[in-house]
Amino acid sequence: MSVAVDPTSTRRKARTFRLYRTIRGFMRDPMAELERISRAANGEIARLDFGASRPYLVTHPDHVQQVLRRESETFIREGTFWRPLAKLFGDSIMSEGAVWEHSKRVLQPVFSTRHLRTLTDAMAEAINTAIDKLEEPAREGRPIQVMPEMSRIVNETVIKILFGGKITPVEADRLIPAMEQVATSIAFRFLLPFVPDAIPLPGDRAYREGERIMDETLYELVERYRDDPGEGTDIFTALCNARTADGAEPTAKWLRDNLMAMFATSTETTSTALTWLWPLLHEHPDVAARLKKEIRSVVGRDRVTVAHLRELPYVTQVIQELLRLYPVGWAFSRIATKPTTLGGVEIKPGDIVIISPYLTHHLESVWDRPYDFDPERFRPDRARTYHRYAYYPFGGGPHQCIGRHVFNAEAQLILTGILSRFDFELTGEVPARPRIGATLRPKVEVEMRLTPIANGSGSGAE
């Protein structure tokens, strides 16, 4: 891999991309315009002049590393671009400073290697049960809508690891669509964070309604369990048992904020990533055939378990490459608290920096044939040859995604669970371009038909 720019190079001014030159492109296809700017800057720091806001766009792996890791105390997770999410997540693990640290200290052990095994075993069970529901449309030859089905499987799984047995089916059925409503209706606020709340934007009403239903449901759960959570390996129980440094019990608001943060970060991201998988496999039948062979020879007619995953290296590579092409947490920002220099450009306190895994993952100076889907990039003997920040779908530094191992296990279990039982064919349009919002959903609905595999083809003979 070659990385074009020398980050230690002398002082320079960032190349500025002014609104009057970019506005048409942004109106037509915001992602295509960002990609054009990123290509033109080719790894150097670019300045986006939106008038109301003038953030720097940072894509070079060295610069990303400086912001997320080396100078994580200078570049903190606050500022205009976090406004819409800051309101939703409140004082949770998605905030910054002491408030973030407290939540992180409570949640970290839940995601430790030892506890993860308990979580992933529960996940495998939930995933198998959720996949059972695909049998009927598959037998009837009825196509399924991929995004809603992936969301259903992911939601049923996340609800298990988040709440264990503490949530009733009625509450889950209220929470899941409300979360979906929040995730989709926040898109305009996410893309135009500097627009004051007093100015209405499309989606505002749906967003408020979704948040209201979520709040109602989460506070009901908190009310019921906060004082006496009982036993449980789920995340809710761990949160209820948390104590502050002076031994105080968690407040209802802190519990609500962290439940909201965990639910939101773990559902939309995972379902969107898994939706992209099927068009990619459809367009790469060689990859799909190799996957089926590996999966069916390891899993056979069994139900997928966490133990199988160790024997499925190609599944791992496919999921890694999926997140290179479609890193669904496609951009996030930081605000500078002190003066510093980034790629030769002087940064002042208050300056905003936008980091985009999507843009870095698609830079030609960083990746060979960046738009091609090629799981061979992550062959075990090649994966470690890349710059640590050439590939960072889960961010890095102190705020690195706490759920990355959960995602990996969940995605591998879902892919394996489906391909061990079904063949698939896309029946509608094949999406190529993402639509940017809070995540990176496909621009068109994805539809596919599953066919139960014939008895005996579980031997991997294909």
Give the residues lining the site for ligand HEM (CB under 6 A).
Answer: 77, 93-94, 104, 261-262, 265-266, 269-270, 273, 327-329, 332, 393-395, 399, 401-403, 406-407
CB of 201 to ligand HEM, least distance (A): 23
Radius of gyration of the chain (CA): 22
CB of 293 to ligand HEM, least distance (A): 26
CB of 24 to ligand HEM, least distance (A): 29
Of 61 and 327, the one with the shorter C-beta distance to ligand HEM is 327
Cα separation, 408 vs 394, whole angstroms: 11
Q: CB under 8 Å to 112, separation ≥6 — which residues?
A: none
Q: CB under 8 Å to 30, separation ≥6 — which residues?
A: 191, 436
Retrieve residue 284's tokens: 């790469």
Retrieve residue 9's tokens: 């190079």
Reduce the DSSP state of residue 335 to 3 states and report it.
strand
Of 402 and 414, the one with the shorter C-beta distance to ligand HEM is 402
Of 22 and 151, the one with the shorter C-beta distance to ligand HEM is 151
- Is 240 annotated as ligand-binding? no
Of 122 and 206, the one with the shorter C-beta distance to ligand HEM is 122
Of 22 and 266, the one with the shorter C-beta distance to ligand HEM is 266
DSSP 375: G
Cα separations (Å) of 115 from 123, 162, 270, 420? Answer: 13, 13, 20, 27
Q: Which residue is nearest to ligand HEM (CB)?
A: 403
Q: CB under 8 Å to 318, separation ≥6 — which residues?
A: 277, 287, 291, 375, 415
DSSP 9: P
Give the E-state strand segments of 36-171 in sequence order: 46-49, 56-58, 75-76, 144-145
Of 14 and 64, the one with the shorter C-beta distance to ligand HEM is 64
CB of 261 to ligand HEM, least distance (A): 6
CB of 206 to ligand HEM, least distance (A): 24
Scored b (16 or more CB within 10 A) or e, 214-241 reads beebbbebbeebbeebeebebbbbbbbe
Cα separation, 268 vs 444, whole angstroms: 17
Which residues on adjacent β-strands are paired with residue 450? 424
CB of 262 to ligand HEM, least distance (A): 6
CB of 433 to ligand HEM, least distance (A): 18
Of 92 and 185, the one with the shorter C-beta distance to ligand HEM is 92
**Binding residue positions for heme:** 401
